[in-house]
């Protein structure tokens, strides 16, 4: 958005000084139709920034032994919670369990604009029983990320981008590092959706919160 604003301001100045619109009064660069940092059906339907779809197929034995649930229970929970529940709530782009948690964590760690989690966490989580295995996918049409400028110049955030192999601009494919970072966000959200939905289906969520969120830090333990 900052790059667009710079280009737009230059274009308006040219119109005013060179194109005969000398009586033009510029009110604002943004009319809010861009819906930056705000919930919007436009971002959900038309997309914004990068669009990512991530998918995984989890064998039934892994769902049972690792996630402590079963395929049909996971599918039914997703329909009831993420699809029907979100629809009843009138959600825009919120057909997921916790996409914003993962998006926010990665945004803060890599120097992105945390306020843009509002639209970047737009996500639809789908699950189905695929010949006995769990097929899960997340569709995220409006992930806004960058790998240079802004908060990415900070050393801790830059170090995280280095760790992910996406710092700065790609040497031969412009935009490829940003696209890769968007795919990393999508993959993390997929893992988070799988984990939380499994915890809900197995009845582990509240117990886990009580065990870990209320425990004393290790340094403070007697």
What CATH number did the domain enclosing 65 receive? 3.90.770.10
Reading phi first (left if > 0) and then psi (alpha if -120 to 50, else beta), residue 25 is in: beta
Kindly state whether residue 60 falls inside one of the protein's structural domains: yes
193 burial class (0-12, 13-18, 19+ CB within 10 angstroms)? buried
Q: Could you tell me where the beta strands, DSSP code E, fall in 7-132?
A: 50-58, 94-95, 123-130
Residues spanned by the domain of 73: 50-210
pLDDT, position 219: 61
Kindly state whether residue 88 falls inside one of the protein's structural domains: yes
- Name the range with the highest mean pLDDT among 14-28, 117-131, 203-217: 117-131
- The residue to which tokens 């998918």 are assigned: 55
pLDDT, position 156: 96
Number of domains in the chain: 1
* 136, pLDDT greater than 90: yes
For residue range 145-156, what is the model confidence (pLDDT) as tens digits?
999 999 999 999
Question: Cα torsion at 127, 130, 133, 136 (round to 10°)?
Answer: -20
Kindly state whether residue 59 falls inside one of the protein's structural domains: yes
For residue range 94-111, what is the model confidence (pLDDT) as tens digits?
999 999 999 999 999 999
Separation between Cα atoms, residue 83 and residue 65, nearest integer Å: 26
Instruction: Read off φ and ψ for residue 104, nearest 5 degrees.
Output: -65, -40
For residue range 160-216, what is the model confidence (pLDDT) as tens digits?
999 999 999 999 999 999 999 999 999 999 999 999 999 999 888 878 777 777 666
DSSP code of residue 217: P
For residue range 81-92, what is the model confidence (pLDDT) as tens digits?
999 999 999 999
CA nearest neighbour of 192 among 89, 105, 84, 73: 105
Kindly state whether residue 6 falls inside one of the protein's structural domains: no
Kindly state whether residue 109 falls inside one of the protein's structural domains: yes
pLDDT, position 215: 63
Q: Whole-prediction pTM value?
A: 0.88
pLDDT, position 191: 98
Kindly state whether residue 143 falls inside one of the protein's structural domains: yes
């Amino acid at each position: 958005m900052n790059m667009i604003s710079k280009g737009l301001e230059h274009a308006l100045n040219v119109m005013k000084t060179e194109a005969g619109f000398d009586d033009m009064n510029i009110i604002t660069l943004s009319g809010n139709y861009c819906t930056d940092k705000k919930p919007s059906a436009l971002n959900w339907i038309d997309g914004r920034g990068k669009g990512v779809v991530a998918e995984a197929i989890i064998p039934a034995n892994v769902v049972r032994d690792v996630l402590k649930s079963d395929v049909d229970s996971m599918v039914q929970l997703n329909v009831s919670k993420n699809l029907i529940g979100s629809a009843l709530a009138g959600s825009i782009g919120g057909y997921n369990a916790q996409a914003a948690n993962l998006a926010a964590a990665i945004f803060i760690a890599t120097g992105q604009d945390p306020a843009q989690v509002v639209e970047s966490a737009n996500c639809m989580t789908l699950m189905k029983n695929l010949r006995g295995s769990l097929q899960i996918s997340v569709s995220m049409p409006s992930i806004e990320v960058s790998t240079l400028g802004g908060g990415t110049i900070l050393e801790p955030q830059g170090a995280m981008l280095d760790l992910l192999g996406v710092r700065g601009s790609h040497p031969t494919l412009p935009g490829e590092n940003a696209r890769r970072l968007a795919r990393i966000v999508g993959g993390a959200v997929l893992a988070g959706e799988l984990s939380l939905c499994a915890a809900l289906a197995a009845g582990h969520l509240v117990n886990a919160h009580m065990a870990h969120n209320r425990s004393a830090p290790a340094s403070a333990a007697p």
